[in-house]
Structure formats: C-alpha cells, structure tokens
Copies of this chain bind each other. A is one copy, B any other.
C-alpha cells in the first residue's frame, strides 16, 4: 500500500496537503487495488497551471518537428511498456487482455499518437491562409494556456487523459497537457505518464509539457476548467459531470469540448429486416455487447416498424441477449446506473423483454437487457425514452409506420451516431428519404448498414455531434487532423514584417509539402 506521486513541473512528487486519498477497484473481484492515489487540492492545481503556462512560453522556441518527435518517442515508450500497461489496465478495468487491451486498444493508441505526430510535422492542420496583396496571413496556433484532459473510464488506453485522442490532439496543436486521470484506472494513467516523461526527456520539450493529477474535490475541478491560466479542456465522461464543468468553463469564456452521452439510434427499415433479419440481429447484439456495452457509440435504441417480421426480430435479438453471458462492468456504478435507467424507463411504460437484473458474480455484472416500447409511447415521453443505460441494454421501439419513424427521429436529442439499415436493393428507398434528412441533423456520424461501435481513426471520422452528445456540433474528438482544431486559436498577422512571421506563414513553404491557402487556392508551393 503506497501513496503514488503526482507529476508537476517535470517532477514526480508526493501530493502536498492532499484533500484526500482513494484507491481503484478490480471490477472482476470488487476488491480494492493496493496503490493509493492523492486527491489534489487547489494549490496543487495552480502549481500545475503555472508550470503549464511556463511550458506554453518555453514551447515558442520549439518547432512542430520537436513536438512530433516527442509524440513518436512516446508511442515507442508505450510499446516497450506494453506488458505493464496491459497488466495494470486489466486489473483496473477487467477488460480482457486479448484481444481488447493488447491487440486492439493499445495499437490504436500508439497509432493515434503517431498520426498526431504526422499531423504536427505536416502542419497542414493549421490552415495557413495568406493573402499576398494585402499581406495579411493567418493560421491556427496554440492556445494561451495548457489543456486539461479528463479521460473516461471506458477506454483506459485510447481515450486515456495522458495518452488518448484528446491528449494527442492537444499536444500536436502545440499545447502542454494537464492530465486528470480517470479514477477508475489511475495506475494505467500513471504508467502512461512515466512513458511521456521519458519522451519529454528524449525530445527536450519543456518539463511542464505533460503533468498528472488523479482527482480533485468537485469544486477544484470546476476551478481548473475555468481558471485564468487554463487554455481549454477536453472532457469525456458522464453528462452529469460534463454539464457542471461546461457551466464553469463557459462562464469564464474558456473553451471546453465535451463528449457526454449518446443513445446512438439504429433505424432498421422493413426491407432490410425482411431481407437479412438474422444477420442484423447478430450485428446488433455484437455491437450492443462490445466492451460489455460500455462504448460511447453503443446502440442503445433500435427503431423498427410493426409488421409481420417485427416480433420475430425482437425474439431473435432477445435470444442472443439471453444466450450470451454478460461482460464484467467497470465498477460499482455500472450495475447501479443500469438498474436506475431501466427503472426510469419502466415508469414510462417500457417493458423488459429479457434481462433487467444484476447478476450475482465475483465482479460487477448486469444481465444483458432487451427492452421494448411502442412508437406511440416513445413519442409521449421522448426525453425519458432517451435515458442512457451504460451497458448491454437496448430499447427496441416499435413504430406504427414510416411517418412515426420519422417523428421518432425528429424527437431525438443530439447523438454521436445514427444508423439506417435498409434493403440492399431499392425496397426501402422511399422510407430512407423520409427518415434520413431528419436523422442527419441529429447526429455527428450517419451510417448505412453498419453498427456504430467501430470508430476508425481516419481523417474523415467525426466522433462528435449536436448537444448533448457533445458541447458543439462543429468539432470531432477522433479524426486527425480535424481533432486538433479544438485546441487551436486563430492567429492573424496583419502587415507583420516577414522575418517576424512564424515559418508556416512566410513566403517559402517551410516543409515543401505543407498545404496552405494562398490567394484563395490550396497549394503546397511557395509565394
């Protein structure tokens, strides 16, 4: 049992006057893990902010290539620590070592870091724009303070506050990061931070480039995201916590990017159901149960039409939910939250088709749960019907007809994703044309004939969407280089002498490959 240090200003040190201590829990055994972690109070947060500000200033002497090199060293260092990371994350999350942790999520994480390095080195993300006639030039540059990253519990690697997508984007855009570990996996986050500190030393970047705290009292968290010295915040987690942080940051005029909640509706049109019912049932179950249903893009809502196939489909999905063993959830809050959500839904007339109860187990387990409700009922209480149950839970909505399907789409809150399954021929085309325009406005990513849980790390990916899925419909948390734009400030130079301009805005293309907009045209050339 040892109290783990925080990383402030390049130094691993014991937290000074911590506001408390906590341990993580092994979700497979419900037993506390041995290490203790400090709860950092305001003075410690302010030291981190101050060191972050010093790093902002010191970074001016470094080039994007240095930042890229840091990210690449970091990715390498993570790989050399694979076993330690996988072992620790397995203890802290109960996720299977194979394939999830070692073969899927860890490579995804290092891939993201290397893509971010490439984006930093390439520099095209900064949208350098030059009007030669007026000699006005602009690009995105770093923010005026460090970026705080709050990572979620469900991706201990790929969205880790000290190694995941927000981290990579903030760093690649030229900002230092203050990582606030998710309290579910503090040990994993500490191991990442050790690898990051090594990379800082290898690359020579400022010591305050990456700092780590584990937890704060709630009021101190609000102070962090609204502090005069913060640049911006990236948050992935619950709507409850996210909205509180948003309010504090908004009031102070500090950018905050949130990924909060999403029920990810899947519309299954009649022709598709008729054509390939069993396949779709299997796909739906697979997507619902991935990571024990603890994905941001987990399909929590499926909308079908009442017809000859609908009852058979529900039975088929129910059978899959029942036959397959439920996974272990990340913590005590898991089964509790699911039970609460189901109770809320039941109060409004939702029926349980299968599951609906916690499972006696060594770990935190809740039965795979299929729910159903009529379209009429859904439309009576559309907001309640979108209560998120974070686990293998799906609410099947049985709509009377196409018009009601479109009405349901119109009542959706903002979501990360929305799927439409349709007949491979043209049988569903008219229905698609009624549903899609409504759904399009409600989601960040619209899919055809594909479940939403796979989030490819490609430049066109939008892991975002209208509120309350996120805080702003114009930004994505995945998809490089677009995700970097969240952590950039638009810097315009008007009549600034040539030698004083950043290299990206000088006449000569600094890399010979960077894309810039010169006099209205994208080009890799010089002026």
Interfacial residues, chain A to chain B (CB-CB below 8 A): 56-57, 60, 124, 127, 129-131, 133-134, 136-138, 140-141, 143-144, 246-247, 250-255, 414, 417, 432, 436-437, 440-442, 444-450, 456, 458-462, 464, 466-468, 471-476, 479, 482, 485-486, 488-497, 500, 515, 517, 520-522
Please list 22 pairs of residues, one from A and one from B, whose beta carbons are closer than 8 Å in the complex, sorted by A's number.
Answer: A124-B522, A127-B482, A131-B458, A134-B456, A136-B461, A137-B460, A138-B460, A140-B474, A143-B441, A144-B442, A144-B466, A255-B472, A444-B490, A446-B494, A446-B496, A447-B494, A448-B494, A462-B491, A474-B489, A475-B490, A482-B490, A522-B522
> Is there an interface contact between B467 and A254, defined as CB atoms closer than 8 Å?
yes
A251 CA to B246 CA, complexed, in Å: 8
Q: Which B residues are in CB contact (< 8 Å) with A129?
A: 459-460, 482
Instruction: Report how far A147 CA is from B134 CA in the complex, Å.
Output: 31
Chain B's closest residue to A505 (CB) is B460
Q: Which residues of chain B have C-beta atoms less than 8 A from A138's C-beta?
A: 460-462, 479, 482
Pick from A253, A467, A479, A491 the residue with the most CB of B within 10 Å: A253
- Complex: A490 Cα to B133 Cα, angstroms: 32
Instruction: Write the nearest CB–CB distance from A297 to chain B, whole angstroms.
Output: 11
Give, as a whole number of angstroms, the nearest-CB distance from A259 to chain B: 13
A472 neighbours in B (Cβ, 8 Å):
255
Residue of B nearest to A137 (CB): B460
Q: Which residues of B contact A462 (CB under 8 A)?
A: 138, 490-492
Number of copies: 2
Write out the residue numbers on chain B whose beta carbons fall within 8 Å of the beta carbon of A479: 138
In whole angstroms, what is the CA distance A466 to B485 when docked?
Answer: 15
Return the chain B residue nearest A466 by Cβ. Answer: B144
CB-nearest residue of chain B relative to A432? B500
Q: Taking A136-B458, A458-B136 as contacts, is the C-beta distance between A490 and B464 under 8 angstroms?
A: yes
Bound-complex Cα distance A464 to B494 (A): 13
Contact B251 A460 (CB under 8 A): no
Pairwise interchain contact B493-A446, C-beta atoms closer than 8 A: yes
In order of increasing CB-CB distance, the 8 nearest A-B pairs are A253-B467, A462-B492, A473-B489, A144-B441, A250-B250, A445-B492, A522-B522, A131-B458
| B residues less than 8 Å from A466 (CB atoms) | 144, 253, 489
Known: A143-B473, A459-B517, A460-B492. 15 other contacts (CB 8 A): A56-B441, A60-B437, A129-B460, A134-B460, A136-B461, A144-B442, A252-B467, A253-B468, A255-B473, A441-B489, A446-B493, A447-B494, A448-B494, A473-B490, A476-B490
In the docked arrangement, what's the CA distance between A458 and B495, Å?
A: 13
> CA–CA, A382 to B152, complex, Å?
39
**Distance in Å: Cβ of A363 to nearest Cβ of chain B:** 33
- The docked-state distance in angstroms from the alpha carbon of A441 to that of B133 is 26
CA–CA, A471 to B253, complex, Å? 6
A495: which of B144, B450, B464, B495 is its contact (CB, 8 Å)? Answer: B450
Contacts of A492 on B, CB cut-off 8 Å?
Answer: 444-446, 460-462, 476
CA distance A133 to B490 in the complex (A): 32
Alpha-carbon separation in the docked complex, A414 to B414 (Å):
31
